Structure formats: C-alpha cells, structure tokens
Structure 1
Amino acid sequence: MKSEHIMNFLKDGSFSMPYYLIQFRKELSVSDMDLIVLAYLENLGDHFLFNPEEIQSRLNMTQMEIMMSISNLTDKHLITVESIKNEKGVMEEYISLEDFYRKVTSLLVERWKKEEEKGEEIQAGNVYEAIEKEFGRPLSPMEYEIIKAWLDSGTDEDMIMEALKEATFNGVANLRYIDKIIYDWSKKGYKSVEEVRRHNARWKEEKSKQQEQKEVEKPKEIFDFDWFDDDNSE
C-alpha cells in the first residue's frame, strides 16, 4: 500500500488519523498498511470485538491483507488478540490496544524528557552568555569550568543570575565574588531567588531602622554663647 492511499482514507472521512500515530510512525516501525489498520482500530476504542469482515469493507482491503496486518501489529506488541467466551458460551475474539497506548505513552514521556533537557541546555547557555555580557569579555576556560561546576552541583540558574546581579550592583565583576555569594546563600539554606530577596528586604529594613535609631539617639548640639565675651558685644 502506497503513502497516497493514506491520504485517500483521510479524505474519505471514514476515520481520523491520530497525530501521535503519524508522529511516532518511525518508532513504531509500521508499514503503510499497518498504519491504516492501526488508525482504524484506534478509532474503535481500546477493547472491542474483532470483526475482519467489517474492517475489510471499511478499508477496502482483502481479508488476507487484514489478517497479515493484524499479525504484524501483534508481533510488534502494539495490539493483542484474545479469545473471550460470550454469554452463549461461544468464543469470540477481541482486540485490545492497551500495549499500543502503553508504547505511545512511553514515547511521549521520552520525547518530553529530551525537550526538557534541551531547554535546560539552552537556559544554561544563557547563563554563560549573561555573565560574559556583564563582564564585557569572553569567559576563560577556567571560568567556564567554575560555572559548569555550579550547574552540575544543582545550583539553580536563577540563583546564579541573581548572584550575578548582586555582584554587578556592588561593582564587582569576577566569579570568585559570585561564587562567594552563592556559597553564602547555600550555607544559609536559601534555595530560591524569592528566599534571597525576602532576606535582602528584611536586611534593608533592619538597617534602615538601626539608622533611624542612631539619628534619634544622637546628642543634639548645644550652641555655647559666651555672653561675657567682649568680642561678642557691639
């Protein structure tokens, strides 16, 4: 079965082709014919009575093609065919897509993990670029290793950026100073930028109160005028 047949089935509107089925076709290792049959079965539900004649009429395929495709999908552990005795005691064959959904779920999780790792790599790259921009020069190999050590140890990228801001605010552009800030925060148990900012806000508030208290306690200057000094008389 050629690929254009897939388009014809979709145009016919007999069933819909799930996007994830096309997306993971390569990983599922299914042929055009198997893809059509699997898509049709997926539209029937996750567990249903196997009716080769109905599938044959709906997909315009021979019974041999249908049975061959069912065999292929079973061998690839995408579907299972099980015999169940009905109320009349007659054995009937049912198809279950449980293995198919389990496989697709596994592929989706794997793809999400890769995208997440890729996003982390991009974000980490932004950390290097941000530090270079603030320093106004390229980083040395040693500096790259220091930053990498922060990331490998689990230091959050946002914490590194916050430490960079604090170092820049204090007019210090070197990694030793930033490393000291990060170490100090780690020692105090700060695990997020929010915790750091709350601490800084409290510190500034306490410092402001102490300054106000000093102003209150500061002795007032008394103007000492010597009324008996002749130089002060006109």
Structure 2
Amino acid sequence: MIKNKIFAWLKEGTITIPSFLFSNYKAMGLNEQEVMLLLQLQSFLEMGNAFPTPSQMAARMTFQESECLFMIQRLIQKGFIDIEEEYSNSIRHERYSIDPLYEKMIDCFLKTLNQTESAQAAADNDSLYTIFEKEFGRPLSPFECETLAMWMEEDHHPDIIKAALRESVISGKLNFRYIDRILFEWKKNGVKTLEQAKSHGEKFRVHQKRDKKAGPAAAAKEVPFYNWLEQ
C-alpha cells in the first residue's frame, strides 16, 4: 500500500529549473511572485495543460484568481510569456509559451558573462602595467602605456605579453621596441599559447649558445648574427 502511494508520488513527475533563474531573476526584472507563477505555468505545460485558467493557477497558489490574471497579463506585457495559436481539426486553440523567459535568461547570462570578462580584462590590464613597471623599475611613460594598450587591443593575450616581457629580460634587451618585435614575430608564426611561446624562446637560446661556442672561427666566416626574431 505504501509502495503504491510512493509510486503515485513519483508519477507526479519533476520540473527542471535553471539555477541561473534563482540567482538572477531580480536582474531580469522579476519578483518572487512572478517567478513562482512562471514555475507553476511550466508545471502545467509539462503536465499537458497548455492553457491553464487563472482559477486553476490560483488553486495552487496563495493568490486570488484576479491576482493571477493580473500577473499573467503583466508577464505577457513584460515579454516573459507568449500566447500562441494552434489549430486542430480546424478548431483554434490557444496555448502559453514560456520560451521568451528562456530567451531573456540567455540574454541575461550573456550580459553577465560579458561583464565578468570585461572585469577580468580590466584586472589583467592593471596587472600588466604593474608587472611592466616592476621589471623596468620605474613608472611607464605615456608612450609605453599607449603601446601596452595597443598590444592588448590587437588581441594579444595578457599571458603572451608577459611571456614576451620575460623573453626580453632573459635576452638582456628590456625595451618596448624589442618586445614589440617578439609579439609581431609570434603573431606571424601563429604563436597563441604559453607552450608555443616557451618553445620559440628555448629554440632561440639554444641557437644563441651554439653561436657562442663557435667562437672567433665562426666570426671569421662573417656569418650574420642569428636573430631568433628573424628566423
């Protein structure tokens, strides 16, 4: 007997609710009453009732029928609910659609994502300026600040810019012109990751050591000095 009751309870089904809605309904312009009505409407739709009446809605909620009707109308005006028409055997039927709710959730999610990325980019920018000033041992000049901003506008990832700075430090050529040449060469050769940048730097240093070991004999041959930026 108890199993039958539990089985009947399970047959009532469940509804899936995006957690994003609970975290951001206020930002979407919804209040708690409207969210609950939308969830009730989703439940009716999933149970096969595509056009529940205000009285049916009120029977599940703590609102009067007139209040449910008013909230439904307000949600339609605010663009969270649509009323669609469909025909069956030449008979016109109306049904609610909460697709607009999900469209607004997606828009809100993308807006939130863009804001997060913008905030992260701003933090990365501040970090880059601080790192460069630390390595140079002085505040950056207006021209250097403009150059650093230009690199970021050219879609150089902050980590790649830091890697280019590191290469200039290791090479003993700590200046913006040299760093700019590194970034230009990396972009030309499709370097987009730290691993690729590291590989290019290691190849340069290995070649540089080989040139030093060659000594005066190699210099006597008048072989041009190897520059990894022009490989």
CA apart distance, 1:186: 3.8
Point out the more displaced range, 203-212 or 73-82.
203-212
1:79 corresponds to which residue? 81
Choose which of 43, 68, 71 in structure 1 pairs with 2:70.
68
Pair 154,28 (structure 1): closer, same or farther in 2 beyond 3 Å: closer
Post-superposition Cα deviations, 1:86-108, rounded to whole Å, max 9, x if no partner, equal 67x87654221111111111111
Structure 1 residue aligned with 2:20: 20
1:143 is matched with: 144
Please tell me the residue identity of whatever aligns with 2:118.
Answer: E
Q: When the two structures are superposed, what TM-score results if normalisation uses the length of structure 1? A: 0.69
In 2, Cα distance between equivalents of 1:188 and 1:83: 57
1:94-127 Cα offsets, whole Å, 9 max, x none, are: 2211111111111111211111121112112211
**CA-to-aligned-CA distance 1:154-188 (integer Å, 9 cap, x gap):** 22222211111112223343323322332343455
Contact in 1 for aligned 2:83/2:95 (Cα 8 Å): yes
CA distance in 1, matches of 2:194, 2:18: 42
Q: Which residue of 2 is the match for residue 155 of structure 1?
A: 156
Residue in 2 that maps onto 1:116: 117
1:59 to 58, 61, 75: 61
Assess, with a 3 A threshold, how the Cα gap between structure 1 residues 112 and 43 changes in structure 2: closer, same or farther: farther
Matched, 1:178 2:179: yes
User: Which amino acid is 1:137 matched to?
Assistant: R
Pick closer, same or farther for the CA change 1:129–1:68 going to 2, 3 Å. same
Q: Pairwise CA RMSD of aligned residues?
A: 3.4
Count how many residue pairs are aligned between Structure 1 and Structure 2. 202
Q: For residues 177-216 of structure 1, what are the alpha-carbon distances to aligned partners after superposition, in whole Å with 9 as ceiling and x for unaligned?
A: 322332343455534433332233344455666778x69x
Would you say the 8 A contact 1:16–1:43 is kept in 2? no
Paired position in structure 2 for 1:8 = none
Other-structure match for 1:40: 40
Report the 3-state secondary structure (helix = DSSP H, G, I; strand = E; otherwise coil) of the residue aligned with 1:155: coil
> What residue ranges of structure 1 are gaps of 5+ in the alignment?
1-14, 218-234
Aligned-partner Cα distance in 1 for 2:16–2:208? 67
Q: Which runs of 5+ in 2 are unaligned?
A: 1-14, 218-231
Name the structure 2 match of 1:169: 170
Aligned-partner residue type, residue 165 of structure 1: R
One-letter amino acid of the structure 2 residue matched with residue 21 of structure 1: L
Provide the rounded CA distance (Å) in 1 between the counterparts of 2:28 and 2:170: 54
Higher mean C-alpha displacement, 169-178 vs 22-31? 22-31
Larger radius of gyration: 1
- Quote the Cα distance in structure 1 between the aligned partners of 2:109 and 2:45: 20
Aligned-partner SS, 1:81: strand
Aligned partner of 1:166: which letter? E
Separation (CA, whole Å) in 2 of partners of 1:62 and 1:193:
62
Amino acid in the other structure paired with 2:168: A
Cα pair distance change 1:67/1:135, threshold 3 Å: same
TM-score by length of 2: 0.70
Identity percentage of aligned residues: 25
CA distance in 2, matches of 1:174, 1:209: 25
